[in-house]
Structure 1
Amino acid sequence: MAEKKVVKSFLFGALAGAVTGAVTALLFAPKAGKELRKDIADTAQTVGEKTVELSKKAGTSAQSLVKKSTDWAVDIRSKFGKRAGAEEASADEEAESVAR
Structure 2
Amino acid sequence: MNKEEMDHPVQSGSTFTKGLVIGALLGAAAALLYAPKPGRELRSDLSEKLSTATDKSKEVATVVGEKATDLAKNVTEKTTDLAKTVSAGASTILNSAKEASADIAEDVKNASDEVITEAKQ
The two structures share one fold, judged by TM-score above 0.5? yes
- C-alpha displacement at 1:10, in angstroms? 1.8
Q: How large is the RMSD of aligned CA atoms in angstroms?
A: 2.2
Percentage of pairs with the same residue: 30
Q: Does 1:31 align with 2:37?
A: yes
Q: 2:14 aligns with which of 5, 8, 11?
A: 8
Partner Cα distance (2:31, 2:89) in 1: 65
d(CA) in 1 for partners of 2:91, 2:62: 42
Q: Tell me which of the two structures has the higher relative contact order, counting C-alpha pairs closer than 8 angstroms and 6 or more residues apart.
A: 1
Task: Find 1:83's aligned residue among 89, 108, 120.
Answer: 89
Structure 2 partner of 1:44: 50
Greater radius of gyration (CA):
2
**Cα offset, 1:46, TM superposition:** 0.3
Runs of 4+ with deviation above 4 angstroms? none
Q: Which runs of 5+ in 1 are unaligned?
A: 95-100
CA distance in 2, matches of 1:81, 1:46: 52
